[in-house]
Structure 1
């Protein structure tokens, strides 16, 4: 269960994501209670109404496992959201960064704390997502009141 601060941070992150124009066509969310609750808080604050795909493999997988899941995304989906666990998500964010985006290096510098989001521009199909092949467009850590 999220703390009051966790809910406030998630809401702040959702509002920021909405402000960035992030609107997922698919959301992959770990089956863990806290990640499912995080999804609910972030989605509500962002105004997202899609139903997430709850995935049991996100709980204990590594970066390759998350990429395998992303690779299953239909080609007609424009934006994917993944809510998972560290250190996997933070490490994956560093691995995906092609070094050319406006937020390049932010994850390495700031770490990947709770309520963090890395927004990537992905050229090509979801099956082509691989290390150093996505542009880190934005990075933000949501901190609520």
Structure 2
């Protein structure tokens, strides 16, 4: 792989979660979340990105989001459930992304706020059209996703190395 290899990172926030009497990690999706997750999956399919790898938080709401969203994709990517995504800061998420093998071109990360929004903000040195404005205005709601592009190795991902090329939210 060349250092100029184009790559994509898609950051998907879990769908709307319920607030039952349980630990935060074990919160399930709410009814709206179970409706929004497949819609997000259809929108992800509509991007035409063939994900090589999905990294999903181990929290119940992210696993349920992914289970519903992935059914809408034409091909299921290899999925790794990664406990380090839960409650991760943008810096911790960058460190995790830096571990990605260079045989991967398109990476999907299913996680939580404020990490997903913060990571998109920190990585994006520039944006296409009104994507940054839309992301900032909506605050990266549940079931939203951002698509970022960059050239190079996964080890080279750091603040300001990507371009925000798409942002979508279900109720925006």
Pair in the same fold by TM > 0.5 = yes
| Greater Cα offset, 45-54 or 61-70 | 45-54
- Provide the residue aligned with 1:132 in structure 2: 160
1:1-145 equivalences under 5 Å are: 1-102=28-129, 103-143=131-171
Which of 1 and 2 has greater Rg? 2
Shift of 1:104: 3.0
Q: Give the 3-state SS of the residue equivalent to 1:98 in structure 2.
A: strand
More helix by share: 1
| 8 A Cα contact 1:99 1:105, kept in partner | no
Shift of 1:52: 1.3
TM (norm. structure 1) is: 0.91
Gaps of 5+ in 2: 1-27
Shift of 1:114: 0.2
TM (norm. structure 2) is: 0.78
Deviations 1:89-135 (A, max 9, x none): 11111111112423233322221110000001121111111112111
CA distance in structure 1 between the aligned counterparts of 2:124 and 2:133, rounded to whole angstroms = 8
Gaps of 5+ in 1: none
Q: Across the two proteins, how many residue pairs are aligned to each other? A: 143
Q: Which runs of at least 4 in structure 1 moved beyond 3 Å after TM superposition?
A: none
| 8 A Cα contact 2:52 2:78, kept in partner | no
For the aligned residues, what is the CA RMSD? Answer: 1.4
CA distance in structure 1 between the aligned counterparts of 2:75 and 2:30, rounded to whole angstroms = 22
